Amino acid sequence: MVKNKHFCNRIEMENNKVGIIGSGIMGYGVAIVCLQAGFSVLLYDKYEDSLLKAQKNIENFFEGSVQKNKILPETKTIMLSKIEYLKELSGVRARIVIEAVPEILKLKQEIFQELENYNPDSVLASNTSTIPITRIASVLQKPQNMIGIHFFNPAPLMKLVEIIPAEKTSDITLQKAIEFVNSLQKNVVIVKDSPGFIVNRVARHYYLESLKILEENIANVQTIDNILENCGFKMGAFKLMDLIGVETNHSVTQSLYESYFFEPRFQPSIIQQKKVDAGLFGKKTKEGFYKYE
């Protein structure tokens, strides 16, 4: 009886783990959300510097929550004890694994092919903003386990999550994904599998039209943002690009442009490309469309 009890406890612990692939702003943001919901987290990145930066950001987030009296110091300690930072993909074995790496189809496919070996019955989810889930799942032995779970940046604050079943996603995988996102206290919307899904397809022009106005010298960055914010938008397009990361935003636009067979309305901006080439990615580099102290 004791042996069986310990066995059950071990299975419960494994079932409560969430694996996250990629420790960038989205990866560690999703990690925070999962920790807040009581899950144990395995955060993987092959780059140690990225992991160390993510660890610092996660610790700072919870310390900030303590300072604002949102959580108790002991709660912070408990949450931070539930995350493990990994440099080996083979160590990621969890009930659900969420990939949050750059928008490169081949890279995502290679990661999921390897993950499938260690997680044959787990939900394998991509946080891709633009790439169809069916395309990512096409290389898997069990494409029925693959689904899209698309969080928005910053993940701890944004309530909406898009869930995208692929062509072969099973009903069980879909149900598990819905239950998981609901447990995070997020608002679920089920979306059909198409490039950009809903939000990114619509939002892309918030950025692109703002960039076109800038290119045509109709107004400067500050003026455009001020007008947008005074019209009711919480944050101007250029401030938002700097927050997300200019290079990340540009990559999403490029991916959507290619996925829609170079549809002109999704064409990336030369101005944004120059920022990327110069390494001016926004807040993370202290300069993007704005300068930061």
138 is catalytic: no
200 is catalytic: yes
**Of these residues, 145, 200, 255, 259, which one is catalytic?**
200
**Of these residues, 126, 127, 129, 269, which one is catalytic?**
129
Q: Which residue's structure tokens are 């069986």? A: 4
**Of these residues, 103, 116, 162, 247, which one is catalytic?**
162
Concatenate the DSSP letters of all residues of 36-64 into one string. HTT-EEEEE-S-HHHHHHHHHHHHHHHHH
What is the Cα–Cα distance from 61 to 54, expressed in whole angstroms?
A: 10
What is the Cα–Cα distance from 198 to 1, expressed in whole angstroms?
A: 51
Residue type, 127: N
What is the Cα–Cα distance from 77 to 204, expressed in whole angstroms?
A: 39
**Of these residues, 145, 150, 210, 250, which one is catalytic?**
150
Q: How many CA atoms lie within 13 A of 163 on its CB side?
A: 21
Q: Which residue's structure tokens are 């709660």? A: 75
Q: List the one residue out of 191, 176, 245 whose CA is nearest residue 24.
A: 245
Neighbours of 285 (CB within 10 A): 16
What is the Cα–Cα distance from 137 to 62, expressed in whole angstroms?
A: 35
- Can the peptide bond before residue 154 be classed as cis, meaning omega within 30 degrees of 0? yes
What is the Cα–Cα distance from 130 to 103, expressed in whole angstroms?
A: 8
The residues assigned a catalytic role are 129, 150, 162, 200
